Amino acid sequence: MTASKLQPALIAGVAIGLLSGIPIVNIGNCCCCLWVVSGGALGAYLLQQKQASPIDLGDAALVGLMAGAIGAVVSTVISLPFTMMAGAMDYQAAIDQALSNARDLPPEARQFAERLKGLTGGGAAGVAVGVIGFFFSLVIDAIFATIGGLIGGLVFKKKLDASLPPPPPPFMA
């Protein structure tokens, strides 16, 4: 990982994290992970702007991957205060409702849900939901930002100047 890839990944990752972590703005991700894909493309764009030669698609994908991972961290940190301000969700009521709607649930799954319901009384549920949400976001953001990096690499890749002569053939002895 060179410094030339780190700066575009950081900028794009912070953009992903801000847009994905702020309530109402984060709704854009409901449209095919719009902010995450756009952030990956932004990383590829910034990478191309730092180079005179066309970027390699592998480098664009790597910058997208890095931006997605950074974005997951930033969005988790940004969204935590909003979640805390919104107040604690009533996880026990949600689990009760899910169990009442799932009549064909296997006994093992029902027991697991009942044990989970016992954990939701304190702050452990919020921490568990935050950790699970972070890892889910990490995987999804990494995948979709990599796709965005590839798309950005294709769209923003500089074209070779046709007026330049082709490189000389390799020297053979």
The pLDDT of residue 1: 46
pLDDT at 159 > cutoff 80:
yes
Tell me, yes or no, if the pTM score tops 0.85.
Answer: no
Q: What gap in Å lies between CA 38 and CA 12, rounded to an integer?
A: 9
pLDDT at 50 > cutoff 60:
yes
Residues contacting residue 59 through CB under 8 Å, at least 6 positions apart: 5, 47, 153
65-120 pLDDT, tens digit each = 999 999 999 999 998 877 666 544 556 677 777 788 887 888 888 888 777 766 65
